[in-house]
Amino acid sequence: MITKEEEITCVFCGGRGQDPFQIMSHLSTCYVCGGEKKVRVAIPYIRCSYCGGTGVSPLGGRNHCLACEGRGVIHTKGKTQKCPACGGTGVDESTGLYCLECHGGGEAPRG
In this chain, which of 30, 41, 58, 76 binds Zn ion, going by CB under 5 A? 30
Q: What's the min distance (Å) between Cβ of 29 and Zn ion?
A: 8
Residues whose CB falls within 8 Å of the CB of residue 105, separated by 6 or more in sequence, listed in order: 46, 47, 48, 49, 50, 67, 68, 74, 76, 80, 83, 90
Does residue 102 bind Zn ion (CB under 5 A)?
Answer: yes
Does residue 41 bind Zn ion (CB under 5 A)?
Answer: no
Return d(Cα 58, Cα 52) in angstroms, integer.
9
In this chain, which of 42, 44, 82, 101 binds Zn ion, going by CB under 5 A? 101
Q: Which amino acid is at 102?
A: C
In this chain, which of 10, 41, 47, 58 binds Zn ion, going by CB under 5 A? 10
**What's the half-sphere exposure (Cβ side, CA atoms, 13 Å) at 72?**
17
Does residue 56 bind Zn ion (CB under 5 A)?
Answer: no
DSSP 4: P
Within 64-93, the residues that bind Zn ion by CB under 5 A are 65, 67-68, 83, 85-86
The total of other beta-carbon atoms located within 10 Å of residue 62's CB is 11
- Interface residues toward Zn ion, by CB under 5 A: 10, 12-13, 30, 32-33, 48, 50-51, 65, 67-68, 83, 85-86, 99, 101-102
